[in-house]
Amino acid sequence: MRKRFTFFTFFLLLFSCQAFAQPNAALTKEQQAWLAKGYRFDKAGWVYLHIEGTPEERGFQHGYLLAPEIKESLRVLRKRWDYLSGMDWAYFVNAAGRILTPGVDPENLAEIDGIVEGMDAAGDSVTQNEIVGLNGYMELIDYWWPAVADSLRISTPKPRQESCSSFIATGSMTADGKIVLGHNTMGGYEEPLCNVIIDIKPDKGHRILMQTFPGFIHSGTDFFITDAGLVGSETTIGSFSGFNPGGSPEFSRMRHATQYANSIGEWCKIMEKDNNGGYANAWLLGDIKTNEIARLELGLKYHALQTKTDGYFVGSNVAKNLKILRFETTEQETNIKYSSVARDVRWHQLMKKYAGKINIALAEKFEADHYDTYLNKVHPDQRTLCGHSELDSRMDGGPGKPFSPWGTLDGKVVDAKMAKNMSFYARWGDACGTPFSAKKFLSEHPQYRWMTGLIKDRPTEPWVEVKAGEK
């Protein structure tokens, strides 16, 4: 019996290797050479992807190696678009081609074309505009589409722009006097997964290590470090409206800034140029070379940049700049029933309590925090830094719906020492480690049954270190 099992196992392995080699055999020698530079592996719920070379080369590696994940992201996005808009997929793709593609710079577009070529070589046919639309789906669905839907008198769910909790601290705030940054992503559980750690070694510009989505040339969740010594994250500006279809897509500007900026000032200038207002964010940035940190609030008509070498900035979706707050949002910045306001209050409590002590361990603790400042007790819900709207039955007048499948998807932290070595700690799933079962949730809350097949399980995963060049 043992010999039969060994032989059968050997046969299966041989068959699998031959089957895997088959697509490679169909590649040109040039494509095989490109593919040899890239690789992927799984780690604690993350998909780690390394790509390098010219735009076409790294795009091809991305598209080929992550073809199954990109295909799944497009499937999820397609079903989500259909439900939210009632419009067909071609309408979305055409909008991406008409509104976003013309504003993508040539290098980024070449990388997108490489993704298309790589997916095609892997047996999955997609178009340039589909990958552009995937990269810019937040801009289209949350910023362009609501105004269009109103003009067409189409009933569509309002976008929830209260996502992500982040802080950056330096100087007297931290244990070693140097920069510490923490961030967790908040979003809908039915959206495409953002569980990719991508290591980009381009032929020009700076090396980038960041969290992202399959098929994205930018981050999307927006947590990154570069070999220029820059670190960054963002939180969306809540209750924001405004979009310029003639501007440059946010995703294209973010990638260009991250790849080519040598300083915080350079990074911000790139982001401000031809701003379309899509995916309006408050960016928390740091330069480990100078110990400087910054907050760039980028609306459509207005923007504001603050810098310091001692202190902190926090992000919880409340605009700080009064021009942005009053003219570009409808935020109720003093209503502590709202997640954005409750989390802002909590951030300042934590910064005051742990001033002079902040380090990596505390950063992880902050991103997993469950203290509700409205209820004044530990109570994981929509108002906590580690958000759990799926557990929230009350909502208390805040945005969203009871038991909404929305909340924290991950946690990431980095300090200056790690950033210098191009590494950071990351945890896939709730930053607190609470597991999430899609089957159990949908069984208990059948009003969300349209999300069947979209929502995925997120079991408890550990914090792990990821680094550039890791294998």
CB atoms < 10 A from the CB of 155, how many?
Answer: 7
- d(CA 447, CA 26) in angstroms, rounded, equals 47
CATH architecture of 165-467: 4-Layer Sandwich (3.60)
d(C-alpha 259, C-alpha 292), whole Å: 19
The answer, yes or no, to whether residue 22 has pLDDT greater than 80, is: no
pLDDT at 58: 98
Residue 25 has pLDDT above 70, yes or no: no
Domain ranges of the chain: 26-151, 165-467
pTM for the model: 0.94
| Class level of CATH domain 26-151 | mainly alpha
Residue with tokens 């760039």: 296
Q: Helix (H, G, I), strand (E, B), or coil: what is residue 293? A: strand
Q: pLDDT, tens digit, for every residue of 405-464?
A: 999 999 999 999 999 999 999 999 999 999 999 999 999 999 999 999 999 999 999 999
Q: What's the confidence (pLDDT) of residue 395? A: 64
Q: Which residues of 184-204 are buried (b: 16+ CB within 10 A; e: fewer)?
A: bbbbbbbbbbbbbbbbbbbee
In Å, what is the CA distance from 407 to each residue of 55, 120, 419?
34, 34, 27
DSSP string, 162-218: ---EEEEEEGGGBSSSS-EEEEE-EEETTSPP--EEEEEEESSS--EEEEE-TT-SS
- In whole angstroms, give the CA distance from residue 329 to residue 277: 12
Closest CA to 224 of 194, 249, 192, 269: 194
Q: Which residues pair with 413 in a beta bridge?
A: 182, 425
| Token couple for 246 | 């003639």
**Cβ-based neighbour number of residue 64 at 10 Å:** 28
Q: How many residues does the chain have?
A: 471
Helix axis angle for 106-121 and 55-65, nearest 10°, is: 40
pLDDT digits (tens, 9 = 90+) for 109-119: 999 999 999 99
Evaluate whether 26-151 and 165-467 have a shared fold: no
Q: How confident is the model at residue 59 (pLDDT cuts 50, 70, 90)?
A: very high
Per-residue pLDDT at 158: 79
Report d(CA 133, CA 388) in Å as an integer.
28
Instruction: Tell me the CA distances in angstroms from 272 to 228, 249, 256, 301, one per residue in order.
Output: 20, 11, 12, 10
